[in-house]
């Protein structure tokens, strides 16, 4: 887990309370900020996607981070580094995709791309910074889950992982899974509703690194046990044709769904479990209960440094 | 000029009025935002600098962008992509350098690093996003120079270029030039004074791509002629030992000085010229006046895509 080791070094060196969450909440400015990068041959392969899809996804994964905070995504900057053989059409299509992702149908005013830079590099590097407006909103924290709260989720889980598997196998069907992988949809309305309507502290995270990663992180950061029923987790039934489809639902990344642990009286999203005294995740699946400690989950999830 | 061509494509695709300036001023949020990247073997060579210096410079170049707007630099996020052979010491020293740059002696409260991400890559890729607090400040624009205004600068020009030349020649003296190249100082106080005290619209830019680039950009974006006396430009006299030292003063990049075109009654910085009716830059040098059009300057400055 080199990535987590590095993050600990960064936390210790900076002594900042912000590092570790996907978004930093800057109370004095009334904003949240997030920055995420996509690197060629680490996060994507050029052969698997069009420039449009790459621009689209780069923006959407950052909008997803803002949505996970409960803030309203409003502005983006994009830093794009490109090999010298990339032409003007690539740049145009990339930004058409980026712009398209800025206008999800559920977000009335859309998000605006206001800056960044462009430079050369050996491979394609994309780093996007997103700003969310936090004014008048209740901003989530991974530390805010409490015993007695319920666990709610949005989106379908495992589809993006299925799409990636199909791409790696050179397959093009079922296309819906590939589309979810290449052009994911941030859960804008779920995040919006939470930020506007939940009155107490609550926890929320996106499932960029998988559903179980989000559940485990919230559980361990908050010091609670999340008991989750696999049967209640929304997924596309066509996933069942894949080997290890249950692992795809639980550990597959890049669905950009949201997981929230919220007070019982908040009614939005699909309830999949409850928060109890204890630590980690208890998963009820196939008539058994499996306990996942923080380490169990970290051992299973995909790590870009491994 | 592939970089400028790409920027035009981005502007046209997005239809955004923000793209083109180093900082975007987000009035509704009361902030400015900037994002800049450093790519190994494009912007720096690993052999020329320590991890500390790399972290330091990555932060400082982004603080400089904020200073050029007249806003107060307050927060940063850093996205760091690293080859797998990089170890924990590199990450620690990089962030020690980054943290050190966040506390320039002229900035009382310092800047805080609040987020970002870390991932793997073939080469080192650093993208920093900086936020400036614009509340109570007069934010500059490159379009704001007016006839009758004066041209003022801060910092010493050409030193960083000299430092880079020494490094490329394998030399280590004069060390002061190398230090400026590897650990530049943003003109925090000059930017601060402008943002707080100038009451009318004014233009300001940093000299990341050279003094002449900043002069020419302001002149052409504002539709004025800037008449500048070379003799008044502050530079280190030891530069004169280099071949083409005048070109280094004028076209050398990465000094991170500031150039401002401001009302006559504003007294801060070193006056080097005046804004007149016309377009471009008239440079008085060696008893002659040389006119530089936008194209003349673009043909001379370093372009990362060439």
**Interface subset of A 22-51, CB within 8 angstroms of B:** 22-24, 26, 28-31, 33-37, 39, 41-43
The pLDDT assigned to B250 comes to 96
A-B C-beta contacts closer than 8 Å: 205
Kindly give, in sequence order, each residue whose CB lies less than 8 Å from that of residue B34, ignoring residues fewer than 6 positions away.
A77, A115, B22, B23, B24, B62, B65, B66, B69, B129, B130, B132
Q: Position of tokens 């009361």? A: B30
Question: Where are the domains positioned within chain A?
Answer: 22-133, 150-300
8 Å CB contact of B115 and A304: no
Candidates A220, A230, A237, A236; CA nearest to A290 is A230
Kindly identify which residue of chain B lies nearest to residue A19, measuring between CA atoms. Answer: B115
The pLDDT assigned to B20 comes to 64
Q: Which CATH class is domain A22-133?
A: alpha beta
pLDDT at position B200 over 80: yes
Chain A residues within an 8 Å CB radius of B5: 88
CB A155 within 8 A of CB A191: no
List the pLDDT tens digit at each of the 306 positions of chain A. Answer: 477 788 888 888 888 766 666 789 999 999 999 999 999 999 999 999 999 999 999 999 999 999 999 999 999 999 999 999 998 999 999 999 999 999 865 556 789 999 888 999 999 999 999 999 999 999 999 999 999 999 999 999 999 999 999 999 999 999 999 999 999 999 999 999 999 999 999 999 999 999 999 999 999 999 999 999 999 999 999 999 999 999 999 999 999 999 999 999 999 999 999 999 999 999 999 999 999 999 999 888 754 443
**To the nearest whole angstrom, how far is the Cα of B240 from the nearest Cα of chain A?**
32
The CA angle B97-B103-B109, to the nearest 5 degrees, is 150
Nearest to A9 among B6, B91, B99 (CB): B91
Domain A150-300 CATH assignment equals 3.90.650.10: yes
**To the nearest whole angstrom, how far is the Cα of A271 from the nearest Cα of chain B?**
30
For B128-170, write each residue's pLDDT tens digit: 999 999 999 999 999 999 999 999 999 999 999 999 999 999 9
The pLDDT assigned to B4 comes to 76
Chain A residues within an 8 Å CB radius of B88: 5-6, 9
Q: In whole angstroms, what is the distance from residue B108 CA to residue A249 CA? A: 50
CB A3 within 8 A of CB B119: yes
The pLDDT assigned to B9 comes to 86
The pLDDT assigned to B8 comes to 84
Q: What is the 3-state secondary structure (H, E, C) of B70-136?
A: CCEEEEEEEEEEECCCCCHHHHHHHHHHHHHHCCCCCCCCCCEEEEEEEEECCCCEEEEEEEEECCC
**Interface subset of B 118-147, CB within 8 angstroms of A:** 118-123, 125, 127, 129, 131, 133
Strand A225-229, strand A270-276: pairing: antiparallel
Q: With b meaning 16 or more CB within 10 Å and e meaning fewer, what string describes B272-300?
A: bbbbeeebbbbbbeeeeeeebeeeebbeb
**To the nearest whole angstrom, how far is the Cα of A117 from the nearest Cα of chain B?**
6
The pLDDT assigned to A242 comes to 94
Which of A59, A89, A129 to probe by mutation at the B interface, max B CB count within 10 Å?
A: A129
Nearest to A119 among B19, B42, B119 (CB): B42
The CA angle A219-A220-A225, to the nearest 5 degrees, is 45
Q: Residue A75 — φ and ψ, nearest 5°?
A: -140, 155
The pLDDT assigned to A5 comes to 82
Chain B residues within an 8 Å CB radius of A45: none
Residue A72 in 3-state DSSP?
Answer: strand
> Hey, what long-range contacts does B160-166 have (CB within 8 A, 24 or more apart)?
B160/B184, B160/B252, B160/B253, B160/B254, B160/B255, B160/B256, B161/B248, B161/B251, B161/B252, B161/B253, B161/B254, B161/B255, B162/B236, B162/B239, B162/B242, B162/B245, B162/B248, B162/B252, B164/B254, B165/B242, B165/B248
Residue B306 contacts A, CB cutoff 8 Å: no
Average per-residue pLDDT in chain B? 92
Q: pTM of the full predicted structure?
A: 0.92
Chain A residues within an 8 Å CB radius of B84: 2, 305
Q: Position of tokens 């805080």? A: B112
Angle between helix axes A188-197 and A51-67 (nearest 10 degrees) is: 20
**To the nearest whole angstrom, how far is the Cα of B121 from the nearest Cα of chain A?**
7
Q: In whole angstroms, what is the distance from residue A129 CA to residue A75 CA? A: 8
Fold observed for domain B2-133: 60s Ribosomal Protein L30; Chain: A; (3.30.1330)
Q: In whole angstroms, what is the distance from residue B152 CA to residue A41 CA? A: 47
The pLDDT assigned to B306 comes to 37
Integer CA distances (angstroms), B2 to A82, A88, B36, in order: 11, 9, 18
pLDDT at position B10 over 90: no
Q: Position of tokens 């936008």? A: B294
For B28-72, write each residue's pLDDT tens digit: 999 999 999 999 999 999 999 999 999 999 999 999 999 999 999
Residue B113 contacts A, CB cutoff 8 Å: yes
Chain B residues within an 8 Å CB radius of A46: none
Q: Which residue has the higher pLDDT, B302 or A268?
A: A268
**Interface subset of B 79-108, CB within 8 angstroms of A:** 79, 81, 84, 88, 91-92, 95-96, 98-99
**To the nearest whole angstrom, how far is the Cα of B8 from the nearest Cα of chain A?**
10
Candidates A206, A211, A197, A152; CA nearest to A34 is A206
Q: In whole angstroms, what is the distance from residue A127 CA to residue A129 CA? A: 7
**To the nearest whole angstrom, how far is the Cα of B74 from the nearest Cα of chain A?**
10
């Amino acid at each position: 887990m080199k990535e987590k080791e590095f993050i600990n070094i960064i936390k210790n060196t900076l002594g900042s309370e912000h590092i570790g969450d996907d978004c930093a909440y800057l109370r004095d400015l009334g904003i949240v900020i997030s920055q995420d990068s996509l690197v060629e041959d680490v996060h994507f392969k050029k052969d698997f996607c069009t420039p449009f899809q790459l621009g689209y996804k780069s923006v959407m994964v950052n909008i997803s981070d803002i949505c996970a905070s409960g803030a309203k995504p409003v502005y983006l900057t994009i830093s794009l580094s490109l090999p010298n053989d990339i032409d003007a059409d690539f740049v145009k299509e990339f930004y058409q995709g980026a712009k398209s992702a800025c206008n999800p149908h559920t977000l009335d005013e859309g998000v605006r791309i206001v800056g960044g830079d462009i430079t050369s590099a050996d491979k394609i590097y994309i780093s996007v910074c997103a700003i969310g407006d936090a004014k008048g909103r209740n901003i989530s924290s991974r530390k805010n889950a409490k015993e007695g709260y319920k666990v709610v989720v949005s989106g379908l889980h495992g589809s993006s992982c299925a799409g990636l598997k199909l791409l790696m196998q050179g397959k093009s069907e079922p296309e819906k899974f590939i589309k979810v992988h290449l052009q994911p949809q941030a859960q804008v309305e779920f995040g919006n509703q939470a930020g506007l309507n939940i009155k107490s502290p609550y926890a929320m995270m996106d499932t960029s690194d998988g559903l179980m990663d989000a559940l485990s992180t919230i559980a361990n950061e908050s010091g609670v046990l999340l008991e989750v029923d696999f049967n209640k987790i929304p997924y596309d039934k066509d996933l069942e044709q894949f080997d290890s489809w249950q692992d795809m639902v639980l550990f597959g990344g890049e669905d950009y769904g949201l997981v929230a642990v919220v007070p019982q009286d908040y009614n939005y999203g699909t309830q999949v479990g409850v928060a109890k005294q204890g630590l980690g995740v208890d998963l009820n699946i196939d008539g058994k209960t499996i306990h996942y400690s923080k380490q169990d989950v970290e051992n299973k999830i995909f790590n870009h440094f491994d």
